[in-house]
Amino acid sequence: MLKKNRLACTLACTAVLTAVGAAGAPQSPADPQALARIRAAALRSDWSWQRLEELTDRIGPRLSGSPQQAAAITQVAAAMRALGAQVSLQPAKVPHWVRGEERAELTDYPGRPEGLTQRLHLTALGGSSATPAAGLEARVIVVRSFDEMHARAHEIRGSIVLFDAHFDQRLADNGRAGDAYEQSGRYRFMGPSEAALLGAAAALVRSIGGADYRLPHTGATRWKEQQTPIPAAALAAEDADMIARLAAHGSVAMRLVLTPQTLPDADSFNVIADWPGSVLPNEYVIVSGHLDSWDLGTGATDDGVGVMAAAGVIQVLQQLQLHARRTIRFIGWTNEENGGRGGKAYFDSVSGAMNSQCAAIESDEGAGRALGIVAAVTRDSLTSLALPLEALAPLGATVLEPREGEVGSDVAPLQSAGVPGFAPLVDARHYFDYHHTAADTLDKVDPVNLQTQVATMGVLAYYLADLPACLPRVAASAH
């Protein structure tokens, strides 16, 4: 998943960095040569790529509660142990939602030749309830916004609401993929719940993404406390278009079959692997990604690449036998996609000793080339990032993007407690073409891009872990 991705800082931050340079030595003693060695080793290593190939080709989709997710936890824990890291599995109960049959067809529409139906391409949203096994048949009400739905509130009861909000690819093309995702994504997150409040029989959303290959994009939808879920699915963009065209001529009816099951919560684990600090081993800089994925593709870009880039940081440190002052802690999160239980479990485990959490890095914005660093830190702290950015300059990762708000949903609870948050800034222009679809597969990852993410996270993690003092806490209001 991804929340924001603004390339907002090139000019302002260049000025900041220049000022830092002019002001003399930065406060960190981190050895620039160590950072350069980390960068170089990351760009030579194919360890993360090999692990990503195992994770995607050999294990595959890793939805919470699935045997594939369990296999992924086993795989990464073993790989970390083989590197000599101190590995622990942190338990978390996770939602266990299992996709079933999913099909739909238009059973009536203006100009329909007698006896014909029009087949649709869709996929259930995580958390959807099931229709009757034979399906439900109802009129489709097409709306472009929540306002439009409320203006037609009297038509909603018993109907299937289709939220036909288009993904704004122009925003994505201009470095604001996260904003584009938020803009149409809120209909996936909140649409089914809002439609249910008005008595809708089911809710559909136009797929959130920029492509046009009749690919439905799944994802989580949210229900209010105590709310009974209704059937909810994402239609391929083409099908949303077709229904909107037909509905412009008159009434459209659909038969919808979705048979997912929500099983009892399952046992799962965060994989935690510590690369001990030489001076302050009980203070931690986290490098992380999430091990779970949606169930349609093999989760290569969301978030195989992120979790293996993070794991690769430990491999590089092991290879160089480098230990920073603090412990660098790899976390492979469980259940990012449909519950966030991994992030919550970790937060709960450290909430009594939050000062031990020096900084948290998460990569979960796709497989693009690393362009720099996203930093959710105080304004003053921005200047201290000159050194790692300088070390990353040879690979072109020179942009510093200050972010207000979360850098990754697993580390968001830590951020809300003031922990500085970071992410590699990646080129996400095409991330949402494949996001949460069957086409999220290994071929979408360029091995060199993956190496740039290892380098960026490695340099940043080592730098932060080697600082004389952790960067100051960030006011919660900034999130």
Rg (CA), the chain: 23
Binders of a copy of itself among residues 289 to 348 (CB under 8 A) are: 297-298
Q: Looking at beta carbons only, is 119 or 154 nearer to a copy of itself?
A: 119
The binder of a copy of itself chosen from 13, 17, 59, 272 (CB under 8 A): 59
336 in catalytic set: yes
99, 188, 436, 444: which one binds a copy of itself (CB under 8 A):
444
Give me the least distance between CB of 252 and a copy of itself, in Å please: 11
Least separation, in Å, of the C-beta of 273 and a copy of itself? 20
Task: Please identify, using beta-carbon distances, which residue of 51 and 188 lies nearer to a copy of itself.
Answer: 51
Per-residue contact string for residues 228-267; x = within reach of a copy of itself by CB under 8 A: ---------xx--xx--xx---------------------
Annotated catalytic residue within 102, 194, 336, 401:
336
Spatial CB neighbours of 322, under 8 Å, sequence gap ≥ 6: 34, 37, 38, 462
User: Is 213 a binder of a copy of itself (CB under 8 A)?
Assistant: yes
Sheet with 136-143, edge to edge strand ranges: 118-120, 102-108, 253-258, 136-143, 160-163, 202-206, 232-235, 122-124
Q: Which two tokens stand for residue 87?
A: 């590995």
421-426 vs 370-376, strand pairing mode:
antiparallel
Q: Which is nearer to a copy of itself, 78 or 354 (CB)?
A: 78
Of 11, 24, 119, 226, the one binding a copy of itself (CB under 8 A) is 119
In this structure, what are the phi and psi dihedrals at residue 31, rounded to the nearest 5 degrees?
Answer: -70, 115
Out of 10, 90, 107, 118, name the contact with a copy of itself by CB under 8 A.
Answer: 118
- Measure the CA angle with vertex 377, ends 355 and 414; round to 5°: 45
Among 109, 269, 294, 462, binds a copy of itself (CB under 8 A): 109
Closest distance between a copy of itself and the C-beta of residue 167, in Å? 14
What separation in angstroms does the CA of 343 have from each of 7, 211, 280, 399, 411? Answer: 26, 30, 24, 27, 6
Selected range binding a copy of itself among 41-49, 104-112, 286-294, 316-324, rule: CB under 8 A: 104-112
> Residue 329 or 430: which CB sits closer to a copy of itself?
430
Which runs of consecutive H residues, i.e. helices, occur in 143-256?
146-151, 169-173, 177-197, 237-247
Q: Which two tokens stand for residue 373?
A: 């660093």
DSSP letters, 400-430, are: EEE-SS-SSTTTHHHHHTT--EEEEEE--TT
Contact in structure between 229 and 223 (CB atoms under 8 Å): yes
User: Near a copy of itself by CB under 8 A, which window of 192-200, 212-220, 372-380, 401-409?
Assistant: 212-220
Q: What is the DSSP string of 81-105?
A: HHTT-EEEEEEEEEEEEE---EEEE
> For residue 388, which of 397, 379, 380 has the smallest C-alpha distance?
397
Residue 451 half-sphere exposure toward CB, CA atoms < 13 A: 16
Least distance (Å) between residue 58 CB and a copy of itself: 5
Q: Which residues are catalytic?
A: 336
Give the footprint of a copy of itself on this chain (CB under 8 A): 53-54, 57-61, 67-68, 71, 74-75, 109-113, 115-116, 118-119, 121, 211-215, 237-238, 241-242, 245-246, 297-298, 433-434, 437-439, 441-444
